[in-house]
Amino acid sequence: MHELSLVQSMMTIILEERDRHGLGKLTRVKVKNGALAGAVTDALTFAWEALTPGSELEGVELLVEDVPLRVRCGACGVEFEPEDRHYMPCPSCGEFLGHTVLAGKELFIESLEAE
């Protein structure tokens, strides 16, 4: 489960950002997880719950927002959210190759909330 190493890296970044911005006690961390990012939201949450007790982030709430895949058709330019991320026929023209990914690849810390 690579989510453990992802969460360990996120924890390091979160603490560095907290210190850099002089924040007080953190209360909430918001993360965006795209459909193509390769991370499972439940596994991220599990890893957070396993790694934060006893750390400086103990008790901090993790909110993970799932970002759906959104593409632009390479043929007609229509933007859509495909049902299948492997076979993506355009609902307008039927083209299934050459689409540009607009959303769904992201995996990042969106915000930190502190007291």
Number of compact structural domains in the chain: 1
Burial of 58 (0-12, 13-18, 19+ CB in 10 A): exposed
Q: How far is residue 109's CA from residue 9's CA, in Å, rounded to a whole number?
A: 11
Tens digits of residue pLDDT in 21-73? 999 999 999 999 999 999 999 999 999 999 999 999 999 999 999 999 999 99
DSSP percent split of the chain into helix, strand, coil, nearest 5: 25, 30, 45
Q: Provide the pLDDT for residue 98.
A: 94
- As a whole number, the mean pLDDT across the chain is 96
Residue 1 has pLDDT above 80, yes or no: no
Backbone angles phi, psi at 10, to 5 degrees: -60, -40
Reported for 70-79, long-range contacts at CB under 8 A and 24+ positions apart, including other chains, are 70/101, 70/102, 70/103, 70/104, 71/99, 71/100, 71/101, 71/102, 72/99, 72/100, 72/102, 73/98, 73/99, 74/98, 74/99, 74/100
The parent domain of residue 104 ranges over 3-114
CATH number at residue 30: 3.30.2320.80
What percentage of the chain exceeds 70 in pLDDT? 99
Give the global pTM: 0.88
